[in-house]
Amino acid sequence: MTTSGELNKRITLQAPTQVSDDMGGFTVTHTDMATVWAKKTTHRSNEAIQSMKETGIAIHNFRIRYRREVKASWRIKEGNQYMAIIGPPMEKDEGGGRYWLDITVSEAS
C-alpha cells in the first residue's frame, strides 16, 4: 500500500503543443500541465547503441495521486531530465478512497 509520505519526487507533467512556425507548418513544444509529488521506482536499466554511440536507457515508474487528464502522449520532467511516457497511465485503486496513477517512462542518457 502506498502512503503519501512515499511521494518524495517533484515532477512536472507536460503535454505536447503545436506552435505555428509562420511558414504553414508547426513545431511541437511541451506545456507544463501540473507539478506533482511522485514515488519513483526504477524497473530496469541497460545500455544500447543508438546513432553509433552508446546510450544508457532506464525504465521507471512514477506513482502519483490520480489525475484523469494524463495521456500517453505527454512526458515527465524531473529536474533537468525529460522522460517519455511509454504506455497508457494505469489507474490503481488501493481501497479506502486511495486512487493512484502509475506512469511508466523511458529515460535515455
**Tell me: the pLDDT tens digits for 12-26?**
999 999 988 888 889
Kind and range of the H or E element at 15?
Answer: strand 9-20
Our CA angle for 55, 58, 60, nearest 5°, is 160
pTM of the model: 0.83
- Evaluate if residue 47 carries a pLDDT over 80: no
Q: Rounded distance, CA 49 to CA 45, Å?
A: 14
Across residues 47-68, what is the average pLDDT? 80
DSSP letter for 22, please: S
Checking if the pLDDT of 31 tops 90, the result is: yes
Boundaries of domain holding 46: 4-108
How far, in Å, CA of 78 to CA of 61, rounded?
Answer: 12
Q: Looking at per-residue confidence, does 53 or 42 come out higher?
A: 42
The CATH number for 69's domain is 2.40.10.270
Residues 41 and 7: beta-carbon distance below 8 Å: no
Model confidence over 62-108: pLDDT tens digits? 999 999 999 999 999 999 999 999 999 999 988 877 799 999 999 87
Dig out the grid coordinates for 52 from the structure: 553509433
Residue 55 has pLDDT above 90, yes or no: no
Give me the residue label for grid cell 511521494: 7
Q: How many domains does the chain contain in total?
A: 1
Q: How far is CA 1 from the centre of its chain?
A: 21
